[in-house]
């Protein structure tokens, strides 16, 4: 197995014991030997006050990307490899194993979790900013233009790239809101009525169904807003209904949902797939009290057995306990994450500074262009054209600064929530009603395979890492 070695030291650290480059290299080489890795290249960065860059870190990343045989980076400690926030994501995306000779806690599961949590949070943060990759889309979104297929009642204008009202179907949507706002009609009846009344304008579209209508009636798009990545934006499109009408419809949904308790909520519905054929596992109730789970068999008959809910219950309980950590571990994790938060704060500061600088630079250009126009150097059309471009860019920058602030706020909040959840999972879970259990499990698990009577869970990040740590029961502290 092939690996690269990475060592880094800053001038400030050089005096400290154990931080010297020769010491790091020695430890890494020994570790590689012990684990059966052959080191093919060694990369070393020595930072001074004058030279802050990490030339060799970048060279190493390039090397790993171009050589599929390299399976690991061996490093003395996490903080040697990842100096700033973005490094975690960079390393994670290499899809190789980062290995650390020594962690604050000697156990490997804890080291992996530290790394995994940091990657997760860094990703979450960067996703929140979602800059470069989806820049085009976001720019549109920030200008209030829905960047996807227009919902029914609207059309994507292929020339202007804006969203226009669909003159044939918009009245149908308005009618739907109006009818439903009177509360006397069910979604099923509404669908029936619309399908009968407006068949002539549907133009080959599928008929309205109950669920489709519910989606429409709850979509803020129709009163001029839209949701994008969890945030609500004011759209530039023409509203199909007023905000008042939209709100009235929402309050009717709330009213109607309240007394609906007779429908049975299955605790484990939608969480499992069949180990034999891969189909979903569904639930049904027998004689009004016995709950059975079984394969839907939608890919063809499947002979996997029916299983009683009581048989699953203790297994799910165990799955939840699989991520329960004690107070000490929780506190340790929080410390780790707080240090990660400091890195993030630094990133935040420099990023904000960069954006402000760019904004000011554009303002300078705008002012200069105006002077040029006034003094007759350029003509009016040119001045207007170029100023509009720069102003546009400024709007985008402003929106990015807003996003940056939003991401900053949610960062530690998310981290603490995850830890809190892991700490109290087992205790919380037992007390929950079926519907809440389901939600809870949905947060923890991406899937669960039911093979015969046995459950095999797949935890979501970072719970998979926590589960691994709990399993080995060798947490530091």
Binding site for Zn ion (CB under 5 A): 274, 276-277, 279, 295, 302, 304
Residue number with CB closer to Zn ion (186 or 296): 296
Least separation in angstroms between residue 189's CB and Zn ion is 37
Q: Rounded to whole angstroms, how far apart are CA atoms 41 and 74? A: 11
Phi and psi of 385, rounded to 5°? -60, -50
Residue number with CB closer to Zn ion (308 or 427): 308
Residue number with CB closer to Zn ion (288 or 301): 301
DSSP 53: -
Least separation in angstroms between residue 151's CB and Zn ion is 36
Residue ranges of alpha helices (H) inside 298-446 are 309-321, 327-374, 380-431, 434-444
Q: Chain centroid to CA 393: how far?
A: 27
Q: Which of 8, 10, 86 is nearest to 347 (CA)?
A: 86
Residue number with CB closer to Zn ion (83 or 276): 276
Q: Which residues contact 70 (CB under 8 A, 6 or more apart)?
A: 2, 3, 4, 40, 63, 64, 96
Least separation in angstroms between residue 274's CB and Zn ion is 3
Least separation in angstroms between residue 304's CB and Zn ion is 5
Least separation in angstroms between residue 293's CB and Zn ion is 11
Residue number with CB closer to Zn ion (132 or 303): 303
Largest Cα–Cα separation, the chain? 89
Phi and psi of 84, rounded to 5°? -125, 180
Phi and psi of 156, rounded to 5°? -80, 120
Least separation in angstroms between residue 269's CB and Zn ion is 16
Query: What is the sign, positive or negative, of the torsion defined by CA atoms of 79, 81, 83, 85?
Result: negative
Residue number with CB closer to Zn ion (181 or 304): 304
Residue number with CB closer to Zn ion (212 or 276): 276
Query: In sequence order, what are the beta bridge partners of 284?
Result: 292
Question: Is residue 7 helix, strand or coil?
Answer: strand
Least separation in angstroms between residue 300's CB and Zn ion is 9
* Number of neighbours of residue 78 by Cβ within 10 angstroms: 20
Q: Which of 34, 54, 43 is nearest to 101 (CA)?
A: 34
Residue number with CB closer to Zn ion (73 or 274): 274
Phi and psi of 5, rounded to 5°? -110, 140
The answer to whether the beta carbons of residues 306 and 274 sit under 8 Å apart is no
Residue number with CB closer to Zn ion (275 or 426): 275
Least separation in angstroms between residue 292's CB and Zn ion is 14
Token representation of residue 115: 């790394």
Least separation in angstroms between residue 308's CB and Zn ion is 17
Query: In sequence order, what are the beta bridge partners of 123?
Result: none
Least separation in angstroms between residue 450's CB and Zn ion is 9
Residue number with CB closer to Zn ion (279 or 330): 279
* Number of neighbours of residue 204 by Cβ within 10 angstroms: 4
Give the Å distances, CA to CA, from 362 to 336, 366, 386, 402: 40, 6, 11, 18
């Amino acid at each position: 197995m092939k690996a690269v070695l990475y060592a880094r030291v800053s001038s400030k650290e050089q005096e400290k014991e154990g931080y010297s480059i020769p010491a790091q290299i020695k430890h890494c080489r020994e570790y590689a030997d012990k684990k059966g890795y052959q080191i093919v290249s060694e990369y070393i960065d020595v930072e001074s006050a004058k030279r802050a860059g990490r030339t060799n870190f970048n060279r190493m990343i390039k090397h790993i990307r171009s050589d599929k045989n390299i399976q690991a980076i061996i490093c003395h400690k996490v903080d040697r490899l990842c100096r700033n926030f973005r490094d975690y994501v960079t390393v994670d995306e290499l899809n190789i194993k980062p290995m650390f000779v020594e962690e604050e806690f000697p156990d490997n599961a804890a080291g992996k979790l530290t790394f995994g949590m940091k990657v997760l949070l860094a990703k979450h943060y960067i996703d929140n900013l979602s800059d470069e990759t989806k820049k085009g889309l976001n720019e549109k979104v920030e200008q209030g233009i829905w960047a996807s297929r227009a919902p029914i009642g609207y059309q994507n204008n292929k020339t202007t790239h804006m969203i226009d009202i669909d003159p044939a179907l918009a009245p149908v949507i308005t009618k739907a809101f109006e009818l439903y706002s009177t509360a006397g009609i069910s979604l099923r009846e509404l669908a029936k009525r619309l399908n009968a009344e407006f068949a002539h304008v549907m133009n080959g579209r599928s008929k309205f169904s109950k669920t489709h209508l519910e989606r429409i009636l709850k979509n803020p798009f129709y009163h001029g807003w839209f949701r994008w990545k969890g945030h609500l934006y004011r759209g530039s499109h023409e509203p199909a209904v007023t905000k008042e009408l939209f709100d009235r419809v929402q309050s009717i949904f709330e009213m109607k949902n309240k007394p609906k308790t007779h429908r049975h909520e299955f605790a484990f519905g939608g969480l499992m797939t069949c180990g034999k054929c891969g189909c979903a596992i569904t639930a049904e109730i027998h004689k009004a009290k016995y709950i059975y789970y079984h394969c839907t068999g939608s890919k063809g008959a499947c002979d996997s057995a029916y299983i009683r809910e009581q048989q699953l219950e203790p297994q799910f309980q165990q799955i939840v306990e699989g991520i329960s950590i004690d107070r000490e571990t929780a506190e340790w994790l929080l410390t780790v994450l707080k240090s990660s938060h400091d890195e993030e704060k630094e990133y935040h500061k420099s990023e904000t500074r960069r954006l402000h600088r760019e904004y000011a630079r554009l303002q300078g250009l705008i002012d200069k262009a105006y002077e040029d126009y006034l003094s007759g150097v350029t003509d009016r059309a040119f001045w207007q054209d170029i100023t509009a471009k720069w102003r546009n860019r400024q709007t985008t920058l402003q929106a990015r600064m807003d996003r940056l602030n939003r991401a900053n706020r949610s960062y530690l909040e998310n981290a603490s929530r995850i830890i809190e959840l892991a700490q109290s999972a087992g205790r919380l879970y037992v007390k929950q009603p079926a519907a809440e259990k389901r939600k809870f499990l949905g947060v923890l698990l991406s899937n669960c395979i039911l093979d015969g009577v046995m459950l095999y869970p797949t935890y979501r990040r970072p719970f998979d890492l926590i589960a691994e740590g709990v399993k080995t029961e060798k947490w530091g502290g």
